[in-house]
Chains A and B, each alone.
Chain A
Amino acid sequence: MHAIRTLFAGVLLSSASLTLSAAGLEVGDPYVRAVPPGQSNSAAFMSLRNISTEEHALIGAESPAAETVELHTHVEEDGLMRMRRVGRIVLPAGETTTLAPGGLHVMLIGLKSELTPGQNVELTLIQDDGERLVIQAPVRRLEPMHHAAH
């Protein structure tokens, strides 16, 4: 049953880059960062658009690719980059919340095998209403960042 569901998600993704949950959460452009050999952790990034009229939250994630999956963020304070685990990522109604390098991310801890660019990593996003959304996030090599704050 699980395999069929995964296969189905994969087929859906091959035709569209967006995945929509029953609660109205739209996942855009998910990807997992390719990491150097021997590196046991990576991170997944994506945009989460809540097209419903109610606030939702992401409260966790799972993946067969890693021993543990957590939600993390970065805060820059006193010149230090501090990475911290967060219990939930709030998704305000009608807004897009972006998980991107340097900020919020889904942390994959204890990778079970090396990540090859192009390979898909299955991620299950768990919402506060209990819904579990399975997505496929392709592994991408890192690209240089150009964000507006710098």
Chain B
Amino acid sequence: MKRSSIAILLAAAVSAGILSCLEPGPASESSQAPLELATPPTGGDFTLDSAAGPVRLSDLHGQVVLIYFGYTACPDICPTNLVSIANALRSLHPAELDRTRVLFVSVDPERDDPEHLARYVAYFHPNVLGLTGTPEQLAQVAKRYGAAYQRVENTGSAMGYLIDHSAFTAVVDPDGRLVQTLGHASPPETIRAAIRTALGTKP
């Protein structure tokens, strides 16, 4: 009896997950992540810390910037997206790659200092920069980009606290405008097409 009720709970949880995946986004664009915000995210300029010093989004003017919010202790969701992004980067022409940057923003500044982040992101692709900041800075940037995250204590896991987080990738065009969001586990081809659209090159 206990087993079957757990199974039912699991099944309910799984179907809830599937339903939320299938729900159309606000712009009926299937690749858009569902955002739990009253107002759509506006994007905008920000400055966060990297191992090489502060990075300001507007300093990357002229390039397409992909922004992903996550944390390095995340064993599955974040690496899945970073590998997909890295594979998309590897499939770009050199001239396109020169104009594409990825910002991995850690929402776990307690465990991820900029040096640790730099080692982590280098594993995926040299065009990925690891950024973080104070909890206040991170909250502000995440809000602007529609990213949500929540620290969960008492998880019953040896990992200690966990961070629930949205898993989409924000696409910022060369003029610094937030133009698209790509859902969790978007395949490299979808990411590459979004980069090319934002660059204005042939998709």
Interface residues of A (CB under 8 A from B): 33, 35-43, 55, 57, 67-68, 70, 72-88, 90, 92, 101-103, 105, 107-110, 142-147, 149-150
| Known A41-B75, A41-B159, A150-B185; contact A77-B84, beta-carbon cutoff 8 A | no
- Given A67, A79, A84, which contacts B158 in the complex, CB threshold below 8 Å? A67
Interface Cβ pair total, 8 Å cutoff = 144
Residues 90-120 of B contacting A (Cβ, < 8 Å) = 116, 119-120
Structural contact, A83 and B80, CB atoms closer than 8 A: no
Structural contact, A81 and B166, CB atoms closer than 8 A: yes
Q: Could you give 21 example pairs across A and B, Cβ below 8 Å?
A: A36-B123, A37-B119, A37-B123, A38-B116, A55-B3, A75-B13, A79-B166, A81-B167, A82-B152, A83-B75, A83-B77, A83-B164, A85-B155, A90-B6, A102-B80, A102-B184, A105-B76, A108-B75, A110-B158, A145-B187, A146-B187
Residue of A79, A103, A108 contacting most chain B CB atoms (<10 Å): A79
Q: How far is the CB of A48 from chain B (nearest CB, A)?
A: 14
Q: Which residue of B lies closest to A66 (CB)?
A: B158
Stretch from B16-24, B51-59, B132-140, B171-179 that touches the partner: B16-24
Q: Which residue of B lies closest to A141 (CB)?
A: B83
Total count of chain B residues near the partner, CB < 8 A: 55
- Distance, CA A101 to CA B76, complexed state (A): 6
Stretch from B29-37, B42-50, B60-68, B195-203 that touches the partner: B29-37
Structural contact, B158 and A109, CB atoms closer than 8 A: yes
- Distance, CA A77 to CA B36, complexed state (A): 10
> What A residues does B72 contact at CB under 8 A?
36, 38-39
Q: How far is the CB of B87 from chain A (nearest CB, A)?
A: 5
> What A residues does B13 contact at CB under 8 A?
73, 75
> What A residues does B165 contact at CB under 8 A?
80-81
- Given B17, B75, B150, which contacts A107 in the complex, CB threshold below 8 Å? B75
- Distance, CA A78 to CA B167, complexed state (A): 11
Structural contact, B80 and A79, CB atoms closer than 8 A: no
- Given B7, B120, B149, B185, which contacts A36 in the complex, CB threshold below 8 Å? B120
- Given A70, A75, A82, A145, which contacts B185 in the complex, CB threshold below 8 Å? A145
- Distance, CA A83 to CA B148, complexed state (A): 15
- Given B75, B121, B148, B188, which contacts A144 in the complex, CB threshold below 8 Å? B188
Q: How far is the CB of B109 from chain A (nearest CB, A)?
A: 16
Structural contact, A79 and B156, CB atoms closer than 8 A: no
Structural contact, B185 and A143, CB atoms closer than 8 A: no
> What B residues does A38 contact at CB under 8 A?
72, 116, 119-120
Structural contact, B79 and A35, CB atoms closer than 8 A: yes
- Distance, CA A86 to CA B184, complexed state (A): 22
Structural contact, A43 and B156, CB atoms closer than 8 A: no
- Given B20, B73, B83, B186, which contacts A78 in the complex, CB threshold below 8 Å? B20
Apart from the given pairs A40-B73, A57-B3, A79-B34, 4 other A-B contacts in the complex at a CB distance below 8 Å: A75-B13, A90-B3, A102-B77, A145-B185
Q: How far is the CB of B114 from chain A (nearest CB, A)?
A: 13
> What B residues does A143 contact at CB under 8 A?
83
